[in-house]
Structure 1
């Protein structure tokens, strides 16, 4: 059975060596000392998961994460000594899938890697489940991660797409902010509710540019959010 390939991005040899010790038995590993090396590998070699440090020379991990998201949906695990909540929220906002602070326990690292790879596999297996609403007024393509409103593509960030797709898959269900935060961002901190709200707001703004009268995500006051299936959309 082919092993998953993990890219280790860290400028400290000791950290990369420690990760090698924990992971080399079960995964094929590639390494990059800085962001430029990492992006070159991402664009040229199939990578299943990226473990990315924030404090990198020339180009920090935030910028590397954003650049990766422009070309790939590869799972990204931020591994860093910066463990403040605001750093975690920012990383998740720009496209990271998970966040683990140094020092870390190897068992937790391995568990998070397995969870991210499992989630990625599930997404791939269901990638042909195209969603269409309102007589094709809005179409969501999971495989290409594209959203069309009135036959025009929306420019959504990775997390905006994940949020809209999750809601659209169960259009009759009301999702609480806690549940959305847990499923999409892997967080359980109530202070992250503003992350959910800001993503909902951004999606609404982008849709309004193409369909001013259509609100894709409805607020259910005191509960959370639900998808608007565009029945009777103009």
Structure 2
């Protein structure tokens, strides 16, 4: 009996990439990068993968597990510092590497902030940052408090004093309004003038966020270094 030749459709199906957890997560990251995390649903993800929605549940239990896995893929993009580096440039490398990855995925910040479960990938990164302090001779006590001070900066972002994203260019400042503002809020005006080089028309344009992030990071690390040299411990802080 001559074997029946496969049809083009059957041949294509035979060559279809098998569905697995990694493929599901990477497709979700790609969808979030293109359309925002709001667009990521099990139904739309199934459409993108060419499967029925129920097929996804063999690989992720629910939407929350899907988001956890997406964060894990972002964390996998973080790079480790050269082991020969001293603790401070090592921590800096960890954190700025995280920042580069988060900036590549604009949705990641909000999803990271929303996570309540700590996956092995997340715990592994946090352990690596803590380990950089320990290798620098920091006590576990001081490391604990410095990690608190860093907060979300270890993930490459920090809360902004003012959210100026999406602001339209401000109209030229009205001299009378500037004079009134100066009377009421002289210190804020001084900050705005320093930030804009005296050109207050740029006051609503926002700051250099990368510069501000690195400034705050270095401020925390320099302070941590001083405490470490003093042999600081939380029991004797007063």
Instruction: Pick the TM interval, shorter chain.
Output: under 0.3
Higher RCO (C-alpha under 8 Å, 6+ residues apart): 2
Give 1 or 2: higher strand fraction.
1
Who wins on radius of gyration, i.e. which is larger?
Answer: 2
Comparing both structures, which one devotes a greater share of its residues to helix?
2
